[in-house]
Structure 1
Amino acid sequence: MLVFGNIWTEPLAAIGALPVEQVAWGFPQGGGGFGTDGVLRGGLLPSVLFGTLGRPPTDRERAVRQVFREAGLRIKEQSDFRGWLWVHFVSDAGLFSQGLRVGSLSKPAGAPRDFREALLAGRELLPLLEARGVDLRRHRGGVLLFRAPSWLMAPVLAWLTAHVAPLRVNFEAHSDPDAEEPPVVCRDTLAEARRLGIAAPRLEAAEPTFARVGER
């Protein structure tokens, strides 16, 4: 079985009773979302990320990789896939929280101020990753956006999302205000920050936009 998406729980706990040796871990390189018309729009890059949990790939995992190679996709490897998934998850939490605050995940595209807030929200979550045991030195590329000066990175991201077609389409596709993923990602991230005693003031300030009915 190929697990091909993001999770915030421990990977081995997420698969439950499935035999570990029969599970492969991967992540698509692309993006998109459902519009208000219920249509899924997005794009897929010509590469796919695969990872392992601290050991070399098994024969089954190598076979899964070969299937994607034969489909014409390039393979990227990540040896600390658990850490990579969680870095990606908090990155989404930072971006989603700002998108929810301004009314749509499509609105930050081309908006430096919104990207600055999203980056700062993500930066505040880096201690949460460390508290969960992620070695951020192994994910320097993944956290560079948050550690670099936000006054520099926010205009760059705004320009890219306004002028680079795949990125622009990715953001524009997230136009459904009732999408389920963004509030769930934000809720789960904030709940874990509170459980571990990690301050996340920007994510907490956005809580009214993603709290369940009755929790607001």
Structure 2
Amino acid sequence: MKILMFGRGVISAQYGWAFEKAGHEVEFYVRPGRKDQFGPFIDLDILDGRTSFKGVPVKERWPIQMREELSPNHDYDLIVLSVNHNQFEDVVKVIGPYVGKATILLFNNVWQDLPIFVEGLPMEQIIWGFPGGGGGFSSNSKLEGGFMKSIYLQTEATAASPSRHQRVVELFRQAGFSFSWQKDIRVWYWFHFILNAGMAAQALKEGSYSNLYQSPKKVANAILLMREMLPLITAKGGKIGLGTALAMRLPAGLIGYAAFKLLKGNSVPAAIMERMERTAYISRESFAHFPNDVLAEARKLGVSLPRLEAMEGHFK
């Protein structure tokens, strides 16, 4: 398969590396002038979680192919889009005219209704998913991150094109990944966005994610924020699954302690969070978009979020 990764970011680089190792042809689209700035290699220092929850260390200089121009007559089979959700509208303006016949794998946070979010792209060519990885680029341009075995993907029954869905599934399986299937990917996106908003708001209040993870009680406070936001999913027209509803009714302290142990332990998720913050790859302003967007939507729909409103000064 010939694959175009949009941008040379953390997610694009790590999954692009895995795809190329599995025998696929991978190229990166970068903005004009960035090809010389980046250079022809990516220095990797990542944890590969496909065979171990702790991750297998990968340290190598990986030569990559980049291009600064796009053509509607390209021969890419797949275009992978994974950018900050608040940048996606600008990305669509760049890539929209050049999609051609390629399948689009959307590997992104989403808070809007799906057709609105991807307006300008052909819905019938989109497969909806989300990565299980992250990290950042250090000051010396080294990619410090990691990815897990599983990715999140809509089911074939919900895909606009079952044949495109099958090809994406085969790509990931061939590269050694497994799947967390989402029957309603729209609601999953919204719930995941709420998780991000709760953690981001609490982390900004505590000064950093590192400070947040020092205490199960602080993590529990983030859980309470998330729980308060859940009615927004219903207000937006979604239906919360029974499993999610039951899990979120567990004592916040219990959930907070479990999340605390996971994020403080010797695991790929813990390493991803530590490396993401240490490299400052995602700014405080970027994190603040999550609670800001949730609060704006709540006010629009008339949903009361007193806990989040009380913290607005930390992320406005």
Shorter-chain TM-score range: 0.7 to 0.9
Equivalent position of 1:187 in the other structure: 292
Q: How far off its partner does 1:190 sit?
A: 0.6
Change (3 A) 1:46 1:12: same
**2:274 is aligned with 1:169:** no
Equivalent position of 1:102 in the other structure: 206
* Worse overlay, 85-94 or 154-163: 154-163
Equivalent AA in structure 1 for residue 130 of structure 2: F
May I ask how many residue pairs the two structures share in their alignment?
Answer: 209
Equivalent position of 1:197 in the other structure: 302
Pairing partner for 2:250 from 144, 148, 155: 148
Q: How far off its partner does 1:39 sit?
A: 6.0
Equivalent position of 1:114 in the other structure: 218
Equivalent position of 1:214 in the other structure: none
- SS for the counterpart of 2:158 is coil
RMSD: 2.4
Q: Distance in 2 between matches of 1:93 and 1:49?
A: 19
* Worse overlay, 119-128 or 201-210: 201-210
Equivalent position of 2:128 in the other structure: 25
Change (3 A) 1:179 1:144: farther
The answer to whether the 8 Å contact 2:134/2:276 transfers is no
Equivalent position of 1:87 in the other structure: 191
Q: Distance in 1 between matches of 2:315 and 2:202?
A: 11
The answer to whether the 8 Å contact 1:110/1:161 transfers is no
Change (3 A) 1:151 1:48: closer
The answer to whether the 8 Å contact 1:110/1:160 transfers is no
Q: How far off its partner does 1:207 sit?
A: 1.2
The answer to whether the 8 Å contact 1:53/1:82 transfers is no
Q: Distance in 1 between matches of 2:295 and 2:223?
A: 16
Equivalent position of 2:162 in the other structure: 58
Extract unaligned runs of 5+ from structure 2.
1-103
Q: How far off its partner does 1:40 sit?
A: 5.1
Q: How far off its partner does 1:38 sit?
A: 7.5
Please tell me whether Structure 1 or Structure 2 has the larger radius of gyration of its CA atoms.
Answer: 2
Task: State the Cα deviation string for residues 102-154 of structure 1 (Å, max 9, x = none).
Answer: 1112222241121111000000001111111221126x24x555321012222
**2:295 is aligned with 1:160:** no
Change (3 A) 1:191 1:39: farther
The answer to whether the 8 Å contact 2:217/2:253 transfers is no
The answer to whether the 8 Å contact 2:135/2:143 transfers is yes
Equivalent AA in structure 2 for residue 55 of structure 1: T
Q: How far off its partner does 1:46 sit?
A: 1.0
Normalising by the residue count of structure 1, what TM-score does the alignment of the two structures yield? 0.86
The answer to whether the 8 Å contact 1:108/1:158 transfers is no
Equivalent AA in structure 1 for residue 213 of structure 2: A
Q: How far off its partner does 1:77 sit?
A: 1.8
Change (3 A) 1:127 1:53: farther
Q: How far off its partner does 1:35 sit?
A: 6.5
- SS for the counterpart of 1:16 is coil
Determine which structure has the larger helix proportion and give its number.
1
Extract unaligned runs of 5+ from structure 1.
212-216
Change (3 A) 1:128 1:199: same
Equivalent position of 2:231 in the other structure: 127
Equivalent AA in structure 1 for residue 265 of structure 2: H
